[in-house]
Amino acid sequence: MSNQFIEINLIVNGKSVQKNVSPRLLLVDFLRHDLHLTGTHVGCEHGVCGACNIDLDGKTARSCLLFAVQVDGAVINTVESLGTMSHMHPLQESFWEKHGLQCGFCTPGMLMSANELLKNNPNPTRDEVIEAISSNLCRCTGYQTIVDAVLSAAQEMKKNEVTTS
């Protein structure tokens, strides 16, 4: 059997991407190795931990469970799309200020899950935040500071929305 490659076209973090990929290339590996977007972490490789979470056409998805060819035509946002060191997203700022991370391994996946929650529900309750991040595993923080960070970001985003409108 010869090495066959399939062309995919997608939008990643607002940029058009066209690549030839192996049919068996996992999306997480495509993002990390082909596109050098290393914020998407490889954790369990079984869809359990959430470290590889991305935004796929507006919904959080596990990139370790998808082949790159499956997302042909999709719009993908990774944690790199949220902000930069000089212009952080309110979620990133809140995680930093509220100590919502320790080792940082789960943080990109947590940020992507929290971002989807806040897009759909800008004023979540504590229980809604807990539910939204419940499929993300963290071995360091005990989740309390992560929940506090998401709630703080929601308030900051609401405040900024009012002042910029």
Interatomic CA distance for residues 108 and 89, integer angstroms: 12
pTM value is: 0.92
pLDDT reading at 164 higher than 70: no
Average pLDDT over all residues of the chain? 94
pLDDT of residue 1: 46
- What is the tens place of the pLDDT at every residue in 69-118? 999 999 999 999 999 999 999 999 999 999 998 899 999 999 999 999 99
The confidence score (pLDDT) of residue 165 equals: 38
Instruction: Quick: pLDDT tens for 58-70.
Output: 999 999 999 999 9
User: For residue 137, is pLDDT > 70?
Assistant: yes
pLDDT band at residue 142 under the 50/70/90 scheme: confident
Lowest pLDDT segment from 1-5, 14-18, 76-80: 1-5
- Supply the pLDDT for residue 160: 81
CB 37 within 8 A of CB 93: no
- Give residue for tokens 């058009």: 16
Say how far apart CA 11 and CA 75 lie, in whole Å: 5
Helix/strand/coil for 21: strand
The sign one gets for the Cα dihedral 35, 6, 77, 106 is: negative
Domains and CATH numbers, the chain: 6-80 (3.10.20.30), 90-164 (1.10.150.120)
Measured distance CA(94)–CA(98) in Å, rounded: 6
